[in-house]
Amino acid sequence: MSKQDNNQLKDNPRFPLGPTNYKLMAIGFAIIIIGFLLMVGGKSDNPEVFNSEMFNFRRITLAPMVLLFGFVFQIYAIMKRSKSDE
């Protein structure tokens, strides 16, 4: 890197992620929180009685799929390039 390039970087510092990336990351974080909230519940009031409510579709299938989508969306939000980089 030449001195001229180094001086340009000092005069014009650039963040690695743009505002769009941060907005997408906030959306991904909200999706992850929703996935964890879908897993909540299913406890039994009486420990002597088995409650099959914890094995329903929402907790076993839907919530992990929402979580996985949220994590994949976070990766996309971090890797997305802004239009000014292209």
Residue with the bigger pLDDT between 77 and 11: it is: 77
- Angle (CA) 58-63-64 rounded to 5° is 130
Which pair of tokens denotes residue 54? 């914890």
Residue 12 lies in a domain: no
Cα 27 to Cα 78: distance, rounded to the nearest angstrom: 12
Residue 73 confidence (pLDDT):
98
Residue 2 lies in a domain: no
Residue 6 lies in a domain: no
Residue 11 lies in a domain: no
pLDDT in tens, 41-68: 877 788 888 888 888 999 999 999 999 9
Residue 1 lies in a domain: no
Residue 61 burial (CB < 10 Å; 0-12/13-18/19+)? exposed
Residue 25 lies in a domain: yes
Domain count within the chain: 1
Residue 9 confidence (pLDDT):
54
Residue 50 lies in a domain: yes
The boundaries of the domain holding residue 43 are: 17-81
Residue 8 lies in a domain: no
